[in-house]
Amino acid sequence: MNDSLKYEKRGVSASKKEVHKAIKHLDKGLYPTAFCKILPDYLIGDDRYCNIMHSDTAGTKTSLAYLWYKETGDVSVWRGIAQDALVMNIDDMACVGALDNIIVSSTIGRNKTLIPGEVISEIVDFFDEFSVTLRAYDINIHLAGGETADVGDIVRTIDVGYTTFARMKRENVIVNHIKPGDAIVGFASYGQSAYEKTYNGGLGSNGLTSARHDILDSYYGNKYPESRDPYVDQKYQYVGSKKLDDTIQIGEEMLKIGDIMLSPTRTYAPLIKAIIKELGIHINGMIHCTGGGQSKVLHFADQVKVVKDNLLPIPPVFQLIELESGLPRKEMYQVFNMGHRLEIYTDESSAERMIEIADEYDIEARIIGHVQKANISSVEITDDKGSYLLKE
């Protein structure tokens, strides 16, 4: 594609330019450069506190889970989707320091003719299991209920989302003040952390429209037309060569492509809590590299050039996407996390200690770059194939 991102040809925007244009006039809250919008304490009216509310979904990863479920009958795949949606909220809130007593509400819209009750049960039941995992790290989340609606007229299969709320002291809020001289620590999205049961492919919950259509064979689009947008040109849909049960080598193991793509989005919350506890005052910025991939930081930095020239190795799932899709490396960085979904901006000494803490959680980390002064903010990525300049 030389006229537009291939991603956008599929009806999805990596940059969300139209969304950002629509909301640019809105109040940005108490701390405009914080990763989440921080509101005054409307709940109690205490000027020492603030309120934070966030909302997100698992996106089109539900379509991938639907294919797996229909092909295998494995209903447990929906627990991973529940984690995807929940982590996309919890980890965004963690980036402003909100890491305890989080109230959660779910919103599920389904096509009842295709999604039976057992799927809803798996999604709802997952919460207790995940809350126990987080509680072991002194992170408490509380389910307040939610809404499950049968909306087959507008939802092709299923949409899974959560809304989260927290109240915290303003003095504990992490606000992005990214500045020249900062070192950037990248924390791997792949591997198997101390609190994960299996290997995580690292794909997370962003770029799944591209990943699904670029990797998977036309068999899926033909057999399950409900899994794709009927208004998108079919030459951009299911154009890969792989099946969900095909395998790729990860280390010494051969793992199914479906398992790798459906790895539940890793939460960094336990790691972030440990880092904040010891090094909170040394955090100049914390970015959850979700929508927009490696250019996400541009929404929270001003007059700096973010240089990323020592990235973590590109995990196998992204290598597979690149091979199957033929996407330019620059576009890959704009759509996917490419191996690290969390980055912290800090001084070099603190960076080294953060890397040591990550190792305690079995999460690979390294200094991936630094920050320079600039008139116009940008991200410059250098890897084995070249250099790429990303702008808003």
pLDDT at 14 over 80: no
CATH 3.30.460.80 holds for 6-200+262-390: no
The per-residue pLDDT for 27 is 85
Is 227 within 8 Å of 67 (Cβ atoms)?
A: yes
Q: How many C-beta atoms lie closer than 10 Å to residue 375's C-beta?
A: 8
**pLDDT single digits (tens) 311-324:** 999 999 999 999 99
In this predicted model, what pLDDT tens digit does every residue of 241-298 receive, in sequence order?
A: 999 999 999 988 999 999 999 999 999 999 999 999 999 999 999 999 999 999 999 9
3-state secondary structure of 68: helix
Q: Is the pLDDT of residue 154 over 70?
A: yes
DSSP secondary structure string for all residues of 122-159: HHHHHHHHHHHHHHTTT--EEEEEEEEEE-TTT-SSEE
Q: Are strands 49-57 and 340-346 parallel, antiparallel or unpaired?
A: unpaired
Whether 200 contacts 193, CB under 8 Å: yes
| % of the chain surpassing 90 pLDDT | 92
26 contacts: CB under 8 Å, gap ≥ 6? none
pLDDT at 341 over 50: yes
Q: Give CA–CA dist 318/294, Å, rounded.
A: 14
pLDDT for 5 beyond 90: no
Please report, for the chain, the start and end positions of each structural domain, with discontinuous segments joined by +: 6-200+262-390
Rounded-to-5 percentages of helix, strand, coil across the chain: 35, 25, 40
Q: Kindly list the distances between the CA atom of residue 8 and the CA atoms of 12, 16, 34, 217, 321, in Å, as whole numbers in the listed order.
A: 5, 10, 28, 20, 16
- pTM attached to this predicted model: 0.94
H helical segments located in 236-293: 257-261, 269-279
